[in-house]
């Protein structure tokens, strides 16, 4: 598997769709009270945005650096940097395995089954990235998120459509 496929796999796994859809849905039904994801950067946090950016840069940079090292030299990051006795063996690049990454054991079995599941993961990841792009377009053009648009459409299917969103007012 080449670097492009490995990056695409990780992009599909880390797609922001869960961070968009789940909090918005839970807010809509009254379980949570979260800000709209599109304007979440405008919220006041425990520190200023520059400090948050530097913290994210360090933490995500470390994780991405380890992932890149594994792509360049497969197996080079199989040893836990904090607990050296924890080692992963026989893993492919982008598929770490183990209890935390494969709790249902889907990564074991026949090579044909594994190849099929990995192909499905790539396809679903690409679809998820398109879903995030769709959520962004909805937020940009309608001012509301995908869950609000879904509820509006279910309440009035004849008028709350994509065609109404783009029609002149």
Q: Which residues carry a binding-site annotation for chlorophyll a?
A: 43, 120-121, 124, 126, 138, 153
CA pair distance 79, 48, nearest whole angstrom: 35
Measured between alpha carbons, how far is 67 from 24 in angstroms, rounded to an integer? 31
Q: Which of 140, 111, 157, 155 is nearest to 36 (CA)?
A: 140
Evaluate whether 124 touches 111 at the Cβ level (below 8 Å): no
Tokens 């279910």, residue? Answer: 154
Print burial letters for 8-32: b (CB count within 10 Å at least 16), e (below 16): bbbebeebebeebbebbbebeeeee
Residue list, annotated binding site: 43, 120-121, 124, 126, 138, 153
Three-state DSSP class for residue 104: coil
């Amino acid at each position: 598997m080449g670097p492009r496929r490995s990056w695409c796999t990780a992009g599909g796994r880390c797609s922001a769709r869960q961070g968009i859809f789940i909090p918005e849905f839970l807010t809509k039904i009254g379980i949570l009270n979260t800000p709209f994801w599109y304007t979440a950067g405008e919220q006041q946090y425990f520190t200023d945005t520059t400090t948050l950016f530097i913290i994210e840069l360090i933490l995500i940079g470390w994780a991405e650096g380890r992932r890149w090292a594994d792509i360049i030299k497969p197996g080079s990051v199989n040893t836990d940097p904090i607990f050296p006795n924890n080692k992963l063996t026989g893993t492919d690049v982008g598929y770490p395995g183990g209890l935390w990454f494969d709790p249902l054991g889907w990564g074991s079995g026949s090579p044909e089954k594994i190849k099929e599941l990995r192909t499905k993961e790539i396809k679903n990841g690409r679809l998820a990235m398109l879903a995030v792009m769709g959520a962004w377009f909805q937020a940009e053009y309608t001012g509301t998120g995908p869950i609000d648009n879904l509820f509006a459409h279910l309440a009035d299917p004849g008028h709350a459509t994509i065609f109404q969103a783009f029609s002149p007012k």
